[in-house]
Chain A
Amino acid sequence: MTALAFLALGIVVAIAALGGALLARLDRAANAIAAGDGRERVVRAVDALLPQTQCAQCGHPGCRPYAEAIVDGAAGIDRCPPGGTRTVQALATLLGRDIVPIDASRGETKDPQVARIEEADCIGCALCLPACPVDAIVGARQLMHTVIRADCTGCELCIAPCPVDCIVLEPRATGLADWHWPAPSSTATTKTIAFAAPPAIERETS
């Protein structure tokens, strides 16, 4: 009888020890990520999920500073209108946070758009050139300005500086080549799904 009791006790202790060891390892991993260059890896992973519009609607001058703020806990994941619900979902999945609606005060989520300069109205003042965060506007003083459509992210930062309001935003053209099959009716849901493949946070090399 006592032998059996000792055996049972031994098994319980062994399981507890195993569980404790596992927890310790998980804890160490989590701490390693949070400190030091583990933070850099997480910031890179978060930055990879942001749409890189560089529009500053989140209140940060670019997507990378916003990513740093998210990781440092200074900003929520609901501040990116160009990313929309998809980005919130992807960030929530990566960081284990709750999915929240986009903060409406930051702006509205729009369909992909590009800026176009009405060349007839452009006066060549070059005020829009420094405003573009990705240098998508080509031109110089007293010469025609034009937006490189492939580079433009639709961030709208060039609209305000233009004194003649000659920059218009147009939806990025979607033709038949961009059409995709809709979801089957039996599974259609009202929520947007990310379908993203977020890069895994790189493992420690040590």
Chain B
Amino acid sequence: MNAHTPQERRPGLAALVTAIRRVRMRATVPRLHGGLALARDKPGLDRPIVDVPLPRTLVLPLVGYRGRALAPQVAVGQRVARGESLAAGLPASAAGTVVAIEPRPIAHPAGRDAPCIVLASDVTADPTDTLRPTLPALDALTLGRLVACGVGGLGGAGFPTPDKLTDAAEGAVHTLVVNGAECEPGIACDEALMAVAADDIVAGALALARLAGARRCLFVVESDKREARAALRAAIDAALDTASDTGPDLPDGRSGSGTSDAIALRLIDVAPLYPSGAERLLLRLATGIDVPAGERPTRHGLLCVNVATARAAHRARLGEPSLTRIVTIAGSRVTNPCNARVAFGTPLADVLDATGQGARDPDTRRRVGGPLSGHDVASECVPVTATVNRIALERPHRSRVAVPCIRCAACSDVCPVGLLPQELLRHAHAGDGAALDRGGLDACLECGCCDIVCPSSIELTASFRHARGERSDARLREREATRAEALHRRREARLAGPGDTRSLSPAPLPATDSTSVAASAIATAVTTRVPAPDARHDGGTDTAPPGADRGAEAAAAALARARRRRRRKSGETGAP
């Protein structure tokens, strides 16, 4: 069982301890409005990080942020070197041969297969080879180096870090916030990393801050992560001593180093409330700046990265590609809870076997991600990727039956964003899109606090996730409809007009995505060209196939194909 499981203590004592912690926190550190003080459950911190050896077969999904498809840059049969780019932002975790590019199960809540690159790794390679850099070290980190090393968000959402930096206009970012507030129970990978690699984290943060032009670097950690906090404190102090362009962050905003272009470093504690580690909330706690939902923090001068991402940035500057991450192995059916260093592409089964979990019971449930932010997966063939921060083996769900809402308002009391979940639930059931927008559904973090406190056991978070998906589908349909209507109006104007280009509006059409911008440009060019009267698009009475250029045989062949197809179709449908 989990070494930190509170069930081992008597429930009354645990409640008393939590209450005392809460009272102490209230007095001292910045805290969320709402949120929950969940029992501290950080597995595997009492033992060193386990290194999971490279498996024979690596499965690397060609899936980017939010499910976008990545185009492979290699072919089947190709030999690749360690760190070689297999797709945009996807370096090879080991040297080997591309065995296949095919759909495989991946860690995604959809439960669908996705195209993956299957790599047979050269296990004969020297194990220490995994630590060798593949690129020369740089003095200063560059965007290209981040891309080449495949540095992406390692906090759980997986936002590509280079994109975060390109978002920021020149000099727009003034503060880099390094997120070490691992607030979700059951995950301890960041805390484990902070305890052993605090120097790398601080160095990486400095590199990113210099790249982004930030003047301040804030390291945020929960106040009860003592070891991690101490390690970070020591690393920050060392950086203040050694680096010439750093200084302590003074309360009045000046950096204490005396020079005006120094980067101020500061360690910030936050109360260990869930979900204080959520990016928007963390930024508000650390900087006081409110980033509205749907907006990127870079628009407000903030850049937020996870501690593991900062470390990956440091290693990237030294020339090492980002090929591994720390994963917490936990759960009620896990015999050996620990934190493991795993190469991307390692299937779950290999990770579990390498960390000594023993045989799995037939009804064991596998879960990827935290208890609140993660999702169940059907098989252990699923590979570890940048967003997999926890692997859990759990007993089957024993969920409570939902009863009607009793309007107790415990959900709105606990919502960290200040929403009214019972109202949102009502609107979600009714499918009232306007009310959902007004109620702030877009600001919902899907943290699960409302689910935890609901006495009626209503699946609030699942309903909101579904409603958000439906609402975004509805918005997409609305956008497409607006575009189609504009196209139709333009066509009607074209047909009604005298054929003079000056009567047509030059305004660009609303584009649904970047590729359609090009398409609409073509369309504009086509429709604004003045058609000659005899070539106006009325088909004309000339029905002779214009096949004289291509030869009569080609035309006859085309017609014959068409007749065959028509016969086939009418044969299928039974109609002439």
Residues of A within 8 A of B (CB): 47-48, 50-54, 62-64, 86, 89, 121, 123-127, 129-130, 133-136, 138, 140-142, 148-151, 153, 161, 163-166, 175-187, 193-198, 200
Tell me whether B66 and A177 are in contact (CB under 8 A).
Answer: yes
Task: For B483, list chain A residues within 8 Å (CB).
Answer: 151
Is A195 in contact with B402, judged by CB distance below 8 angstroms? Answer: no
B273 at the interface (CB under 8 A from A): no
| B residues 543-565 touching A (CB-CB < 8 Å) | 543, 545-547, 549, 555, 558-559, 561-562, 565
Q: Ordered nearest first, which 7 A-B pairs have the shortest CB separation?
A: A180-B469, A193-B431, A150-B516, A176-B67, A164-B562, A184-B462, A134-B487
Chain B residues with Cβ under 8 A from A194's Cβ? Answer: 431, 433, 474
Query: Which one of A140, A153, A166, A179 contacts B110 once the chains associate, using CB atoms below 8 Å?
Result: A179
Chain B residues with CB under 8 Å of A185's CB are 459
- Most chain A CB within a 10 A radius of its CB, from B484, B513, B515, B555: B484
Interface residues of B in 44-84 (CB under 8 A from A): 63, 66-69
Q: Which of A48, A124, A148, A180 has the most CB of B within 10 A?
A: A180
Known: A136-B487, A164-B558. A151 touches B431 (CB 8 A): no
List residues of chain B with CB within 8 A of the CB of A127.
Answer: 539
Interface residue from B110, B459, B513, B543 paired with A176 (Cβ < 8 Å): B110
Per the 8 Å Cβ criterion, residues 68-123 of B in contact with A are 68-69, 108-110, 112, 114
The CA-CA distance from A182 to B63 in the complex, in Å, is 21
Chain A residues, Cβ within 8 Å of B481? 48, 50-52
* 5 cross-chain CB contacts under 8 A: A50-B481, A123-B545, A163-B559, A176-B114, A184-B466
Contacts known (A52-B488, A148-B519, A153-B484); A195 close to B66, Cβ less than 8 A? no
B559 (CB) vs chain A CBs: closest residue: A164
**Cβ contact within 8 Å between A186 and B402:** yes
Asked if B485 is at the interface (CB within 8 A of a chain A CB), the reply is yes
Known: A150-B519, A195-B473, A196-B478. A121 touches B110 (CB 8 A): no
Q: Which residue numbers of B lie inside 8 Å of A, CB to CB?
A: 63, 66-69, 108-110, 112, 114, 401-402, 429-434, 436-437, 458-459, 462-463, 465-474, 477-478, 480-485, 487-488, 490-491, 494, 511-513, 515-516, 519-520, 522-523, 526-527, 535, 537-539, 543, 545-547, 549, 555, 558-559, 561-562, 565-566, 569
> Which of B491, B512, B547 touches A133 (beta carbons < 8 Å)?
B491
B40 to A: closest C-beta gap in Å? 29
Q: Which residues of B contact A149 (CB under 8 A)?
A: 519
> In the complex, which residues of chain A have a beta carbon less than 8 angstroms from the beta carbon of B478?
48, 196-197
Whether B433 lies near A142 (C-beta < 8 A) is no
B491 touches A138 (CB 8 A): no
Residues of chain B within 8 A (CB-CB) of A178 are 67
Cα–Cα, bound, A193→B539 (Å) = 43
Could you say which of B465, B474, B513, B519 contacts A197, with CB atoms under 8 Å apart?
Answer: B474
Chain B residues, CB < 8 A from A186: 401-402, 458-459
Contact status A134-B462, CB under 8 Å: no
Question: A150–B511 Cα gap in the complex (Å)?
Answer: 8
Q: How many Å lie between the Cα of A40 and that of B376 in the bound state?
A: 51
Q: Bound complex: CA of A54 vs CA of B546, how far in Å?
A: 30
By the criterion CB–CB under 8 Å, are A123 and B109 in contact?
no
Question: A148, B484: Cβ atoms under 8 Å?
Answer: no
Q: How far is the CA of A187 from the CA of B511 in the complex (A)?
A: 35
What are the residues of chain A within 8 A of B431 when measuring CB–CB?
89, 193-196
Q: Are A195 and B474 in contact (CB under 8 A)?
A: yes
Quick check: B462 and A151 within 8 Å, CB to CB?
no
Interface centre among A130, A141, A164, A195 (most CB of B within 10 A): A195
- A50 neighbours in B (Cβ, 8 Å): 481
B547 close to A123 (CB less than 8 A) = yes
Roughly how many angstroms separate A130 CA and B537 CA in the complex, as a whole number? 6
Closest chain B residue to A199 by CB distance? B434
A193 to B112, Cβ gap below 8 A?
no
Known: A150-B519, A184-B466, A197-B434. A177 touches B69 (CB 8 A): yes
**Other 20 A-B pairs with CB < 8 A, given A63-B488, A163-B559, A195-B433:** A48-B481, A52-B481, A121-B558, A123-B558, A125-B543, A138-B523, A140-B535, A141-B535, A148-B519, A149-B519, A151-B484, A153-B480, A165-B562, A175-B69, A177-B67, A177-B69, A181-B469, A183-B466, A194-B433, A195-B474
Q: Is the CB of A52 within 8 A of B402?
A: no
Bound Cα distance from A186 to B561, whole angstroms: 53
Please give the distance in Å from B439's CB to the nearest CB on chain A: 12
What A residues does B520 contact at CB under 8 A?
Answer: 148, 150-151
CB-CB under 8 A from B474, the residues of chain A are: 86, 194-197
